[in-house]
A = this chain, B = another copy of it.
């Protein structure tokens, strides 16, 4: 893959996210663009706090409420994913649109992720207890990535 191909894919992905926002009837504001850009460039789980700090570069007056409101909106639209880390705080990452349903290896140091192959709900041959109605599940593998080891 040529070196500039990555940036091209990156821009393509960005436009796809922007289109999704507009299609859903939400305004494509600078802050929303900025959130998508940051999450897309980082490609890892980052906290609302870190996101806020990064956004202050372009929007010095931005505050937590705007960040959270947009994160909730983007999550509703399934453009980003949320995970509650060990310390109880949430972090967010851009949705990997390469796969539909998936799970992650998550680096607890830097938030970087790798896809898990398969899903325990499909592959584990589970016997769901009688009368139990499954709604959601959570499968996450935490540890240190190769860079952070």
Contacts and interface: CB of A to CB of B under 8 A. Distances in A.
A133 interface: yes
A105 B120 contact: no
A107 B108 CA distance: 27
A127 B105 CA distance: 11
Given A84-B88, A90-B88, A144 B138 contact: no
Interface residues of A, number: 38
B149 A142 contact: no
A129 interface: yes
A30 interface: no
A1 interface: no
A11 interface: no
Interface stretch (A2-10, A36-44, A110-118): A110-118
Contacts of A139: 120, 137-139
A124 B138 CA distance: 15
A7 to B, nearest CB: 24
A146 B132 CA distance: 5
